Structure 1
Amino acid sequence: MKIKEIIVVEGRDDTARIKLAVDADTIETNGSAIGDHVIKQVRLAQETRGVIILTDPDFPGEKIRKTISEAVPGCKHAFLPKHLAKPKNKRGIGVEHASIESIRACLQNVHEEMEDQPSEIAAEDLIHAGLIGGSAAKRRRERLGDILKIGYTNGKQLQKRLQMFQITKSDFMSALDDVLREEQNE
C-alpha cells in the first residue's frame, strides 16, 4: 500500500513500523517540543504532497497533533486506538507497538480537518449521551473515538473534534448506539 501524503510521527521507531506496514515517507517530530524546523518541513510537505498526522494515543501524542494542526491547517489525521498501541507484556504505548494490520487500518480511515463548517452535534447531545460528566463518560468517549476513528478526546474537546472531522449526526448516533449496546452486553 503506497501513501502519497507524508506521515508525521514521533520518532524513528514509529517510522520503522510505518515502513513495515506501508510504502510512505515520514517526518519525525522527535518529541513534543516541536522546533520551527519541523513545522517548516510539515508546512512544505502539506503544500507539496499533503500530510497525515499519526501520533501515539497518549497525552504527548495529542499535544504534538494539536501543535502541528494549529501551525499547519488542513492536515489529515489517522488515529490508532490505545488498545492497539500497547505492547504485549511490556509497558508503554505507541505507534511502534502496533501491528502492521492496525497501522494499515488506521491509515485507511484518515480524517481531514474541516473547521469552517458548523457542527451538527450540539453540546447538549453530548451531555444527553453521557459523554460529558458521569462515571461512564470517559469510557464512552474512548469507544466512540475508536468506532468513529477520531481518537480519544476529553469532554471539552469532543465537540470540536466531531466538528473538525465533520462527523454527521447520523454517524454519531450510530456509533453511540454501538457504544450503548456494548455496555448492555458487558
Structure 2
Amino acid sequence: MGASELREIFLKTDNYINGEYFARIIKEVAVDLEESKYQHAEPRLSIYGCSPDEWDTLAKWFIHHKVHSPNMRWMIQVPRIYDIFKSKKLVSNFAKIVENIFLPLFKASVNPQNHKELHVFLKYVSGFDSVDDESKHSNHMFSYKSPKPEHWTAHDNPPYSYYIFYMYANIMVLNNLRK
C-alpha cells in the first residue's frame, strides 16, 4: 500500500512490539510448510551494516520467537545505503559497513560459545542478497585503482561492483571458516 509505517509496525523484527506480529506470521507460514512436507520457503531479513549489534538483535528475535523451521531458511538482505549512513555520520567509511556486517559472523563462527544465539541463527541462514537497483549508473569504475574500503570516505555510494566484490570476498572467507 506504499505506507512505510505499516511495514515498520507489522514486518520488522526490531520495533515497538519486538517483532511479535512478524514472528506470528512467520510461524503460521512455517506450520503450513511443515504440514505440506515438501514445500520450503526462504524469507528475507535485513542487515544494514550501521552497527555490529544488528546481528545479535536479529538472532535474539529469531530465538525468542522460535521462528526456526526445517522447511525454512533465511536470506539476509544487505541494502546498499552507505550514502545514507555516511550523511547521518553513523559511519566514517565503507570499511565500517563491511566490518559491521561480517565481523560479528566471524566472531560467532570462531567462538560459538560466546555468541550462542547468533551461532544457532546462522544455521538457518542460506545466503546474502544485495538490495538495490543494480542498473543505476555509477561514475566510478571499480578496479585495482579503487580506494580500499577504509579510504572510501566519499558521501556517494560505492558502485554496485565495489559492494559486490567486498561482499563476495567476505562471504567466501566466512564460508571457508564455517566449513
TM norm structure 2 = 0.36
Between structure 1 and structure 2, the one with the greater Rg is: 2
TM-score, normalised to structure 1, is: 0.35
